[in-house]
Amino acid sequence: MKTPDGFVKTTIAGIPYLLPYGQKIADHARSLRLNDSGALLWDTLSLGADKSTLLSVLANYYNTDADMLPQLTSDLDSYLASLKQLGMLSYNAPAENFPPHSDQTDNTFPALFSDDRAPKYYKIGGLCFSWFGPDDLFDTYFKDFSCEAAVADQRIFIITGKPSHLADGTLLLHTTELTIFDVTDTYRFVFGTHWGIHEMRVKKDGSAAVLYCVDADNKDHAENIFHALRFAFLIAAQKQALFVLHSVSIFYQEKAWLFSGSSGTGKSTHANLWANRYHTPVLNGDLNVLGIKNGLPYLYGLPWCGTSETYTTTTYPLGGIVFLKQAPFNRVNSLPPDEQALFLMQRMISPTWTKDLLLKNLAFAETLAPLTKIFRLNCTKNPEAAAVMKAAIDQSI
């Protein structure tokens, strides 16, 4: 038996959890809350223990005699079956990974750093980006975020043509649309052929991103290029303690309030209920950048907004976050500290390709949760849902 890569055991508010990362998240693996004995068994499994060793550890933990062994064996079988069902336990040898990267030195970034074209600049969340690429693409998607020339936190290069050879490295994530590799100090992104993009390479420290297009001036692929660049932004933002939450934001009582939940939960529907009833403007219809400055949480504008076409360039103090759940009634519930942090982390789209990246997101979630108001709203799609939520917010202010 073996615990597979892709899960990390950690604690949230003192409670042990198994959390997926990388490919496991892409495969929609679940998180699992553990009790004390479950956490002990996982640690023992991680050392390669067999079933008899696990049973001995369990017997010692409960200080049981031989009469209790049948019950412990049954409990252990149920635990192992649950882990296997959730993809957290393997009885087979792990699949081979992509070959490790070679010692070949890639010259992608040094060559482009010598580029002498005059860049354009834009700012998101206090980070400055210098742009070397088609003016039309910049003007379509980033012009509203333009800023004066400054030292860039990330340099963006968009060029036509195929890149120089770079070994695959270690596979981090694979879907039908995207494959991500770890190659020394670089993340390598390979997109589906219909994207019109050969690949993108981003420095792990977020300082530079190079996107190789089939035709950088092809307007048919402009939106795909725009969405691909979001990954480069997410890397730079995470490095600077800025994290992106999948959510719809509104402006109410001089602050930003976020509605978040899994796809299809009704985030936009609920925001529209507020807009229709209380005339609260929508700030961003899909994604929001969150950060903490001087001990206070803020929401920052960004151009990526899904299909809503609604975004803001302004920074707002964060009022709170509402996690939505569809129900036949409207009721606001409080959440314990571990679920507040867990829900926040699970709704982030900031990179979780490795264990360290996942834990960085979790650390931010645990820091943010006590600094803002967090609610769980079980709700219908009726106007009363907005009234119930507004009453809870008003009472908390």
- Checking if the pLDDT of 94 tops 70, the result is no
Same domain, residue pair 23 and 129:
no
Percent of the chain predicted with pLDDT > 90 = 75
Same domain, residue pair 236 and 246:
no
Q: What is the pLDDT of residue 177?
A: 93
Quick one: average pLDDT of 23-28? 94
Q: How confident is the model at residue 116 (pLDDT cuts 50, 70, 90)?
A: low
**Domains contained in the chain, number:** 3
Q: Is residue 105 part of a domain?
A: no
Q: Is residue 95 part of a domain?
A: no
Q: What is the pLDDT of residue 62?
A: 87
Q: What is the pLDDT of residue 4?
A: 83
Same domain, residue pair 70 and 214:
no
Q: In this predicted model, what pLDDT tens digit does every residue of 136-164 receive, in sequence order? A: 999 999 999 999 999 999 999 999 988 88
Q: Is residue 96 part of a domain?
A: no
Same domain, residue pair 218 and 328:
no
- Checking if the pLDDT of 54 tops 70, the result is yes
Same domain, residue pair 60 and 168:
no
Q: What is the pLDDT of residue 107?
A: 63
For the chain, strand residue ranges (E) read 7-12, 15-20, 32-33, 120-124, 127-132, 154-160, 170-174, 178-183, 186-191, 197-203, 208-213, 243-252, 255-260, 282-284, 287-293, 296-300, 316-326, 331-333, 373-379
Same domain, residue pair 387 and 286:
yes
Q: What is the pLDDT of residue 102?
A: 42
Which range, of 40-49, 214-223, 352-361, 367-376, averages the lowest pLDDT?
A: 214-223
> What's the CATH code of the domain at 382?
3.90.228.20
Average of per-residue pLDDT values in the chain: 91
The boundaries of the domain holding residue 41 are 7-86
Most confident of 12-21, 71-80, 82-91: 12-21
Q: Using the 8-state DSSP alphabet, how is residue 86 labeled?
A: T
The answer for 14, left when phi > 0, alpha when psi is -120 to 50, beta otherwise, is left
Q: In this predicted model, what pLDDT tens digit does every residue of 319-358 receive, in sequence order? A: 999 999 999 999 999 999 999 999 999 999 999 999 999 9
For residue 1, give Cα distances in angstroms to 7, 77, 279, 355.
15, 13, 57, 21
Q: What is the pLDDT of residue 95?
A: 42
- Checking if the pLDDT of 189 tops 60, the result is yes
Same domain, residue pair 49 and 139:
no
Q: Is residue 103 part of a domain?
A: no
Same domain, residue pair 147 and 266:
no
- The model carries a pTM of 0.91
Helix ranges, 47-113 (H): 51-62, 69-85, 108-113
Same domain, residue pair 158 and 301:
no
Q: How confident is the model at residue 20 (pLDDT cuts 50, 70, 90)?
A: very high
240, 267, 299 - which closes a domain = 240
Same domain, residue pair 391 and 257:
yes
Evaluate whether 205 touches 122 at the Cβ level (below 8 Å). no
Same domain, residue pair 262 and 380:
yes
